[in-house]
């Protein structure tokens, strides 16, 4: 997992992902790792990263559409995100499969079962996709990351007040998390 200041996400090794486990993986076939984040569409996709008070207020106080942000990387995550907090969390095969099922289930698909691609992402080779669920004060990127880790059969508590720091603290309390340095 990765913590980018106020935001957390999940990084998976695409070499471990089966062809039918994550529909978006085919869009990142030339990469070794995939970072996945979930959040408010308006906030995430603000033109020129122009975060206004109105945009932030809407994201906090009103249910807003959500997106998944996927980034393909080839460097090990600790190097690709050297300014971020990166943790390797060993998962069982069943836990990893459950994590992938959780993530794959978050994609909103059209009537033909195709992912709803929304446009390029924020950095590198990245893409936005329409996601299920609304972003609210009670459901943020950090609560989403908690839910993903919990789906991976980890003893994580999901609660609405989660911050990036509180998610990292829970991961650090697990029996085998490894903080990665560049």
Residue of 47 and 106 predicted with greater confidence:
106
- The whole-number pLDDT of residue 115 equals 96
Give all strands of the β-sheet with 2-4 in edge-to-edge order.
117-120, 125-135, 64-73, 33-40, 7-13, 2-4, 85-88, 178-180
**How many structural domains comprise the chain?**
1
- The whole-number pLDDT of residue 44 equals 73
Angle at 36 (CA atoms; ends 20, 27), nearest 5 degrees: 50
Q: What is the pTM of this model?
A: 0.89
Tokens of 145: 């990351």
On the question of pLDDT at 95 being above 90, the answer is: yes
Domain with 62, as residue range(s), is 2-180
């Amino acid at each position: 997992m990765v913590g980018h200041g106020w935001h957390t996400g999940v990084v998976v090794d695409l070499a471990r992902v089966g062809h039918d486990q994550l529909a978006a993986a085919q869009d990142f076939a030339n990469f070794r790792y995939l970072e996945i984040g979930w959040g408010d569409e308006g906030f995430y996709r603000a033109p020129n990263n122009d975060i206004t008070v109105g945009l932030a207020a809407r994201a906090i106080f009103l249910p807003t559409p959500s997106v998944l942000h996927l980034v393909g990387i080839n460097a090990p995550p600790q190097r690709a995100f050297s300014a971020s907090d990166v943790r390797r969390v060993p998962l069982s095969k069943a836990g990893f499969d459950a994590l992938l099922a959780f993530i794959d289930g978050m994609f909103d698909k059209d009537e033909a079962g195709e992912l709803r691609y929304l446009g390029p992402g924020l950095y590198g080779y990245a893409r936005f996709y329409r996601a299920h669920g609304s972003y609210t004060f009670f459901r943020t990127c950090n609560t989403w990351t908690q839910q993903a880790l919990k789906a991976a059969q980890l003893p994580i508590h999901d609660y609405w007040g989660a911050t990036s720091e509180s998610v990292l603290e829970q991961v650090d309390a697990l029996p085998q998390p490894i903080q990665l340095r560049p």
